[in-house]
Chain A
Amino acid sequence: MRYVIIGSGGAGVSAVEAIREYDQESEIIMISNEDVPPYSACLLLYYLFDENKRDAVFWKGKDFYDRMNVTPILGNKVNKIEPENKKILVGDESIDYDKLLISAGGSVDLPSIKGIGKNGIFTFKTLSDTDNIYKWLKTQNVGNAIVLGGGLIGLDAAEGLIKHNVNVTVVEALNRVLPRMLDREMGNLVKDILKNNGVEVKVETKITEILGDERVQSTKLSDNTVLDTDMIIIATGVTPNLDIAKNSGIKTNSGIIVNEYLKTNITDVYAAGDIVESVDVITGKQGPMLLWSNALIQGAIAGYNMVGKKIKYSGTSNQTLLKVFDTPIISDGAFEGEEIRVFKDNIHKKMYLKDSTIGGYMLINTMQNAGVYHSLMISKRDISKYKNFILKNKFNVGMIEIEAAMLQEIF
């Protein structure tokens, strides 16, 4: 048996671990277009904070391939998948597979802005991106930077650059930061946190032109201001690397289409991670989930199914956590229906109820009970009994447990 895994991101790594749990003998080949051991994209921020922490991003250790008895093919791209011959083409080499997992992830699409090809324009998605940012910070006298996109990656990049004493301006096209996570009111609160820490935020603004000769000199924005710029980080969103599935017969939409066992329409070909189109169990929306936690869970489930265990992927919600200058910001579910809120001191909580179940919630500056809310939401529990105090400090998981015990009439 030979397992071939395309991509060494979160999904690929957890698939390897799942396969090795049941099958220590079979050959596993892992193909990555990056020439490094598996690393965690979430840890790149900590590397951007402190250059000495580069080794910490290798979350499974630098010896992962040896330890898991995996044959790596690094720095090479998969050119073609030929399911009818059970073969893939890597460079000029052809590799046979018995079971294939596509976990090639996503990448940042550069927007079409005049002058986007100049030096000093970076993305912040991979380890080599971060290495390049460091090179630029060291060789150039960087005083001002622009981050295009106020999403998760954009705010991480802004926070990282602030630590290097760079003036950062975040430019976001929509009317708030973190548009996929928060509504306008909560987005404004995050904007205040950013401003208090020295990040300039411009919403409802776009970059119209990047000026300079070879290197970026300044940037023209849609509100006609021109800012001095020494570097630009593009964080406008991630799209799945669907090129890989082209002409292979694998069905795709906004991502690769898989069934509940994470199998594609072709026998023995599985897919997991950012490249897959998943369904949000709360909103019912279809699309790539693009979340680290979802990638790990899907990778593990795909791995178990590849070794022949029938395990269903039950779907997940778009639960997201971001720390902006040590302030946790949590968002989950959909923001429609009856609203309850507690805004007190610096802690802001908002929750939306749908037919007396939790439909979604946003928390700023607190993580208290976040997991309880999440599991009540996913399990669609009736919370009408707790409605009046569910956001207050006195609510705790003990109440749920005691209620369950009372139902069994042990008192």
Chain B
Amino acid sequence: MKTVYIKPENCIGCKHCEVACAVEHSETKNLYSAISEEPLPISKIHVMPTFGIMAYPGKCMHCDPTPCIQVCPSGAISRDKETDTILINEEKCIGCGMCAIVCPFSAVLFNPSWRVSVDRDVAHKCDNCFERITNDLIPACVEACKTGALGYGDINEIIREERRAVGKTAAQLAAAIPVEEKIPELLKVWRDLALSMSQVGEKK
């Protein structure tokens, strides 16, 4: 099952994914016309500042079991079996907020949608770019991510690769072989720069 995966260690908080997401889910799908749409398209991925200069791109994890499906009083949320994506039927959504208060990732926001009406709030959350993935494209946020913080692939493959890397590191450590850096050099340089910039004027 293919899914978007997050590597928070690579995220620098540039918010490219947010812009790409908002444009993809707008009516016109074009940045220049999207900004004058009514209602204004909003992003379904949220880059959040955390500790220090670390950022985290949060989005719907399409979990299973799915608390939001379990509690929805209008039957508006469903799972697409083929792509394993949780989808919201905006016509049926009454904007009650039950899904938002059970979501462990607080990934559901309420805004008007161009698909239904400008004066009614409905649930907004990541749909894994359903239109794109059914047309063999990768999700817009993954396409936009420049640092590899977001990726798209088979979940089992990702876990397998990750496990292999951990095993390799452990073996190298045990054999006292130097371990190569996992985070790209440029990212480290950028982070060091950002950190020193953020400390300008601070008393040592």
Q: A residues bordering B, Cβ < 8 Å? A: 10, 14, 40-43, 46, 56, 59-60, 292-293, 296-297, 300, 319, 321, 323, 328, 330, 367-372, 374-375, 394, 396-399, 401-403, 405, 410-411
| Most chain A Cβ neighbours within 10 Å, of B58, B94, B183 | B94
- New contact pairs (13) apart from A321-B97, A367-B100, A401-B56, CB-CB < 8 Å: A60-B75, A292-B73, A293-B71, A319-B101, A321-B101, A328-B97, A371-B105, A372-B105, A396-B56, A397-B104, A397-B105, A398-B56, A405-B9
A-B CB proximity, top 7 nearest: A398-B56, A42-B73, A375-B104, A398-B48, A293-B71, A371-B103, A59-B75
Decide: B103 and A46 in contact? CB cutoff 8 A: no
Decide: B97 and A398 in contact? CB cutoff 8 A: no
Q: B residues bordering A, Cβ < 8 Å? A: 6, 8-9, 48-51, 54-56, 58, 70-71, 73-75, 92, 94, 96-98, 100-106, 108, 110, 182-183
Q: For the complex, what is the distance from the CA of A396 to the CA of B58, rounded to whole Å?
A: 9
| Most chain A Cβ neighbours within 10 Å, of B51, B70, B103, B106 | B106
Q: For the complex, what is the distance from the CA of A46 to the CA of B93, rounded to whole Å?
A: 12
Decide: A40 and B101 in contact? CB cutoff 8 A: no
Main DSSP-derived SS at the A contact region: helix
Smallest CB separation, B148 vs chain A (Å) = 13
Contacts of B101 in A (CB 8 A): 319, 321, 330, 367, 370-371, 374
Contacts of B58 in A (CB 8 A): 396-398, 401
Decide: B55 and A398 in contact? CB cutoff 8 A: yes
Contacts of A42 in B (CB 8 A): 73-74, 96
Smallest CB separation, A298 vs chain B (Å) = 10
Q: A398-B49, A410-B9 are in contact. Are A43 and B106 (CB under 8 A)?
A: no
Q: For the complex, what is the distance from the CA of A324 to the CA of B18, rounded to whole Å?
A: 32
B95 nearest CB neighbor, chain A only: A323
In the complex, 6 of the A-B residue pairs with CB atoms within 8 angstroms, ordered by the A residue number, are: A10-B73, A297-B71, A321-B101, A369-B106, A375-B104, A402-B56
